[in-house]
Structures are given as structure tokens and as C-alpha cells.
Amino acid sequence: MRIYQHLKPRQISILAILGVVSMVTVILSLLFGAFSIPVLKIFSGSATPLQIEILSQIRGPRVILTLFVGAALGISGAALQGLFRNPLADPGLIGVSAGAALGAVLAIIFSTNFLPNMSLGVYAVPLSATVGAGVVIALLFILTRGFTQAGVTYMLLVGIAVNALATVGIGLLTFISTDSQLRGLTFWLMGSFGGARWSLIIPAILVISLAIGCMLAYSRRLDLMQLGENEARRLGVNVSRVKIIIILSSAFMIGASVSLSGIIGFVGLVVPHLVRLIGGPNHTYLLVGSALLGSGIMVVADLTSRIVIQPAELPVGLATSALGAPFFLWLVLRLKKS
Amino acid sequence: MSIVTSNMSFIRNSEFALRNINLTMNEGEILALVGPNGSGKSTLMSLLAGDIRPTGGRIDYGDTPLETWDLSERATYRSMMSQQHVVAYDFTVREIIEMGIVHAEDIVKGRSYSTVVHNIAEMFELTKVLDHSIRALSGGGQQRVHLARALAQVWQEDNYKDPKFMLLDEPTSNLDLAHEVKTLSLLKNEVRKGLGVMLILHDLNLTAHFADKVVLLKNGEIVDQGSADEVLTSESLTAVYGLSINVSQGPLRVTHF
């Protein structure tokens, strides 16, 4: 079986444009911020050591992380909407983001309260978040008997229950936290790329790249799934395997993203819709397009959050939700009409 | 080559949904499954397609048990179309038909995908709507697209050198009279080239006209099988449907009022 669908010329042009746009946003994002770095100075070699330091050690890893997190949110939203055959599916829906958030919040509260000497330093929060995401994945795996049991509705309901439980956990921890912890926790929950360091982001980038590769290899099979699970099986698709690959890839990349950037809402939901709207629903196009547009939007959102109230920063999750929520509402109204 | 069941049964909710089914589906033949609602026709077809496993007995594709065929091999041997289809997003008619082409190397042989899609679209009068969203078509239009996809899965241009089968569960239920007859004639034409087709049909007169072989089912058991003349008799139809049914010969006509 072919693993991809031939793209229409229109789709190829859209992907090319999205690619160029996200590259441009990356360059802009590297140059602008609270600390300005003139382009000419970099190319003429007359940049100061401080400017080079900021570019390579602070802004560089931050922009790269933003790019990958945006791609992860976009592509996993697209793949899950395909797998569940439901345009309202989202990486947050299966509970993995909430699990990662709970893990991170645990680390924020307890690493200062009870474990001051055992502190893992900057690694405590991402590690704990990854464990949180892992626990949710394992829980989903067990409750749905390896993602194969029953239908999509069942899996979504399990996800909703897991989400609710994690929210309770976060609520309890918020309740017992001190004022300074509460501040850190609140900002983390609103999402930010501020903590990016090369040593932290490289493992996440590897996980996200691998997961994107796995998803792309299943793009045509996701197309066939749109005919229904039975029909896909008759066309030779191993439906259980598609479920396992898509859910695991999505869970790992969302776990890796949330562990470093906090919760960033609506990108995974909204981006695939836009991409589908302009070029069509086939997944070879949709997955690549959603990764590119997700990156572009994320980089722009991060840049905006850095420059609107300089030298302070707006949490990037606020920016994406502020834009995403009205779009989501429009989407729901549009669905109701049709 | 053929699709054969031997003493096959299927138990659902601790009751026999199908019992002791022995039938053979041959290449170059239209086999019609006939019987009242709930007699087990669709279940039988799902079993033959390999969607579900029989509780007892066996199913063979050719000389080999169905379980030993992996999913992608099955996909090149038979296609199946069920009654209900809901496509989740706005795929075009062309994309849906292309989804049926599961094995590029075999069917293409110097012909591009688009030629195959074009030929099949022409047969089902879908050429004009190839780039429309399938969800914009009428119920009958959508049904013809899914039929075209099921045919694309097994279609061979000249003669069917490799054995190929289609299992169609009420393929014409949404079609108007003209399209129904056209579609069945088109399938008949493929059958002459060597394709094997199994149909579930409720119209007994169309069955009499198009089927080479009729299998009459009631309560999960085969009441009778053979040519239309042999099976579609006034006595057996009256017994199976519980309605007084007249059958007149030459050409075969089934009437019930």
C-alpha cells in the first residue's frame, strides 16, 4: 500500500508558502525582543559578545523550542482529529496535557517544600511533567486494552475522566501552595517558552521529531480510516496498529512539549481546521501543513508575547487561547449551521 | 479460485445467527443472497469479508483458510461495501475512489492512477463530479461513489487474470430504477470478464434477471440454493417470507399482489 497520497498542485503551493512563512517568522523572532540584535552587525561580525550570547544561548533555543512545540501541537491535533473522525478532537482531550501539567505542578510545589536538598534543579519540572504524561498514557493504555477496545467515544470519555482527575489534583496542590509557589504555578499553567536551554530542549526535540516521522508514515492509512474502521480494515489497514502509533506518538510529543512550555491551548484544535479549510482533508497534506502552520503561529505568538509589554512577558498560552477561543466558537456555530 | 464456507456457524448473544452454512462463490458469477430482514445476510457477508470470525466451521479464500491471509492480501482478493457510509471530512469523489486502489504495482502496470480513476468514474457516470466533495452528493450519488471505490479495489481492465471478488450489501438501495439497472448491468459486464460478485438484494425480479446463483436464507440457515429458476419458486418464497407470492416462468416474474 502507498503510505502517502499524491498532493494536488494547490496543496504543494500551500505547503511551500507555509514553510517559507514559518522560516521568516523564525528569523524575525531571533532578531526582535526586549534586547535588540541588529541584523547587519551579525553578518558583519561586529556583534558584541553579549549579543552573540543572547542569540545562541537564550533566544536561539527558545525559538527552536517554540518551532517544535508548535509543530507538535498542530500535527497531533490533525492526527487525532483524523483518528477520532471528529473535528473537535484535540491533544488536550485525551488527558495527556493535564497529566503532564499535574506532574509539573507537583514538582513546583514539592521540590521547594519537602525536597530542598534533593532538588534536581532545572530538570525537576520537565522530568516530573514527563512522568505525569507517561502515567496518563499508561492509564489510557490499560483502560482501553491497548487502545483497541470499543470505539472512539469510549476513548474520549476515558480522556475526559482523566482530565477531570488531573484538574482535581492541580486544584488541591494550588490550595496548599504558598504565595510564591502559586505565582510560579499560575505562570507555568498559562504556558511560556522562557525557560528554554539547549540541554533541556534537545531531548524534547528528538522525541517530537521521531513522533512526527511516525505520524507521517501513517498519513494515507489515516485517510482510509475516514471511511470507518471496518472499511479501512477491508482495505488492508491494521486499524489497531494505527491507533497505537498515533496515540503514542501524540502522547509522547505532547508530554515533551508540555513539560517544557506549560499548557498552550487551542493551537492543536484550530490549526488543522485552517489547514483543511484552505487545502482539503487528505492527511499527507494536512499533517505536514498543520505542523508548519502550528510552528508559524507559535513563533509569532511567542514573539508577540515578548514584545507587547517589554521588558515583561505575556504568558504565550494566554495569547493563543485569546485568539483560539473565538475561532473555536465560530467553528461550533458553523458546524451547527451545516 | 473461489470463496468457500464449510459447515460454518456464528453465535451471537448465545444464539445461532448463522448455522451450518455451506456455499461457494465462484469467479465469473453473480451470487444473490436473498431472505427476510434478520435472516443473517449481512452477518454472512461480514464473515466472508473477514470482519468477524466464525464460531465454528471454516472459510477459505481459494485453497487457503481465511485466517492465514493477512489484511493487505485480503484487500487485493476481495472488496466489500456495506450499507452505511459516513465519510468524516470533505474528501473529493476522486480521493474516495483512489482510496480503493490499494496496491499500486499490480493494477497500474503502465497506467497511471488517474487513468484508472477516470475509467471507473466514467462507468458510474461520476466524471463530472470527480472534484466535488462527496458530502455534497445525494444519497444515491454517494452510494455510486462507494461502489466505484469497491470496484477500483479489485478492478482489472481486460480480463480478471487474478481471482477477484466483490461483496456488496444492498449496493443499489439508494438508487433510482434507471441507475439500479445500469449499475447491475455494469457489474454483470465485469462478471463476464471474470469477476466474482455477491449481492444482497431485496428486489426478487432483479435477482431473477441478474443472478447466476441464488442463496435463500431464513433464520440463519440456507433454505435452498441454485439457479434463480430452481430457488425462486412460489412454495419456497411463500414459506420464507410468510406472504403469498406467485412466480410465473419465462421470463421469471415474482408478484405478491
Nearest CA in chain A to B51: A230
Three-state DSSP class for residue B251: coil
Task: Give the tens place of pLDDT for each residue, A40-94.
Answer: 777 777 778 888 888 888 889 999 999 999 999 999 999 989 988 888 778 777 7
Q: Please state the length of chain A.
A: 338
CA–centroid distance for B215 within its chain: 13
Cell of B117: 480513476
CB contact under 8 A, A236 and B102: yes
CB contact under 8 A, A234 and B51: yes
pLDDT of residue A333: 83
Contacts of B129 (CB under 8 A, 6+ apart): B93, B137, B141
Amino acid at A125: V
Candidates A235, A241, A55, A57; CA nearest to A148 is: A241
Decide: A14 and A287 in contact? Cβ < 8 Å: no
The answer, for B87 touching chain A at a CB cutoff of 8 Å, is yes
Contacts of A241 (CB under 8 A, 6+ apart): none
The closest CB to that of B72, out of A1, A223, A226, belongs to: A1
Nearest CA in chain B to A273: B89
- Contact map slice: A 120-179 vs B, CB within 8 A: none
Candidates A255, A252, A292, A256; CA nearest to A272 is: A292
pLDDT of residue A2: 63
Task: Give me the residues of chain A with pLDDT under 70, please.
Answer: 1-5, 112-122, 146-152, 335-338
- What is the ipTM metric for this complex? 0.90
- Contact map slice: A 5-24 vs B, CB within 8 A: 5-6
The answer, for B229 touching chain A at a CB cutoff of 8 Å, is no
Sign of dihedral through CA atoms B71, B76, B81, B87?
positive
CB contact under 8 A, A227 and B87: yes
Residues on chain B touching A272 (C-beta within 8 angstroms): none
Decide: B120 and B151 in contact? Cβ < 8 Å: yes
Three-state DSSP class for residue A120: coil
pLDDT of residue B159: 86
Distance from CA of A72 to the nearest CA of B (A): 22
CB contact under 8 A, B71 and A236: yes
Residue with grid cell 532578531, as numbered in its chain: A31
Amino acid at B28: G
The answer, for B89 touching chain A at a CB cutoff of 8 Å, is yes
Task: Give me the residues of chain B with pLDDT under 70, please.
Answer: 103-112
Task: Give the tens place of pLDDT for each residue, B67-99.
Answer: 999 998 999 999 999 988 888 899 999 999 999
Candidates A155, A101, A159, A108; CA nearest to A131 is: A101
The answer, for B88 touching chain A at a CB cutoff of 8 Å, is yes
Rounded distance between C-alpha atoms, residue B195 and residue A162, angstroms: 51
The answer, for B51 touching chain A at a CB cutoff of 8 Å, is yes
Contacts of B252 (CB under 8 A, 6+ apart): B205, B208, B209, B228, B229, B232
Residues on chain B touching A234 (C-beta within 8 angstroms): 49-51, 74-75, 79-80
pLDDT of residue A330: 84
CB contact under 8 A, A231 and B82: yes
